[in-house]
Amino acid sequence: MKTSPSAVLSRRKCPRQARSAVTVDAIFEGTLQVLLRAGSTRLNTTRVAERAGVSVGTLYQYFPNKQSLLYAVLERYLDRLMDLLEAACRSQHGRPAQEMTEAAVRAYLQVKADEPEISRALYAIVTELDACRLVEAAIQRAERALAAMLSSAGDGDFADPHAVARLLFAAVHGTLRMLYERDLPPVIGSDMESQLMTMCRAYIAAALRPPQAPASPAG
């Protein structure tokens, strides 16, 4: 009988106590270190356990195989990334559209810039793990957060904030993925990020409708 993808990628159990949470944190950190040093092809549970300072048996209590471990690491990374983006968007509610867009996009870019090797390594395993649903869920979170922020713009409105948010995030996400998957030099990456910000500003300026003047009283 063929094993379903969900069964392969699911955890055995989730940490419920502080000690278990510390163990899982160590396993995640060990996974990232092995992934960066050896790549996903040479990564295995034995190497991760050694790097994390736990036994292979302990690791198997939480993750039944390499695939479920990498999937959990990717899921945690995306959750953290989306948490930070959502917080950045909430902090900008009510501000001018250009200001809020720049702040949200810069917050997203900064997380990527802080951990470029991790971003690059995790982008590479998305296809390997068939984690499209996981990525799509994260994208939807980003679009909702951006749409809610844009809907609160203090200097105008958008005909369809959700459509604007969708295209805005597609431009940012697609550009960054191309940068990391192609492993472009930092100088080129920095220049492209600057141009990406210029593009975002221009798009928001074109999509923003200025506030309408109040109607004159009849008569």
**pTM to 2 decimal places:** 0.84
Question: What is the helix (H) or strand (E) element at residue 158, kind and residue range?
Answer: strand 157-158
Return the exposure string of 57-68: e unless at least 16 CB atoms fall within 10 Å of the residue's CB, then b: ebbebbbbebbb
- pLDDT recorded at residue 178: 80
Q: What is the mean pLDDT of residues 10-38?
A: 80
Task: Indicate the average pLDDT of the chain.
Answer: 86
Whole-angstrom Cα distance, residue 102 to residue 33? 32
Whole-angstrom Cα distance, residue 35 to residue 13? 23
Assign 126 a pLDDT band (cuts: 50, 70, 90).
Answer: confident
- pLDDT recorded at residue 83: 96
pLDDT in tens, 37-66: 988 889 999 999 999 999 999 999 999 999
pLDDT in tens, 153-210: 999 999 999 999 999 999 999 888 887 777 666 655 677 788 899 999 999 999 999 8
Assign 116 a pLDDT band (cuts: 50, 70, 90).
Answer: confident
- pLDDT recorded at residue 13: 56
- pLDDT recorded at residue 10: 54
Burial classification of residue 171, based on how many CB atoms lie within 10 Å of its CB (0-12 exposed, 13-18 middle, 19 or more buried): middle
In which region does residue 130 sit, left (phi positive, over 0), alpha (psi from -120 to 50) or beta (all else)? left
Is 123 in contact with 40 (CB distance < 8 Å)?
A: no
| 19, two tokens | 């000690």
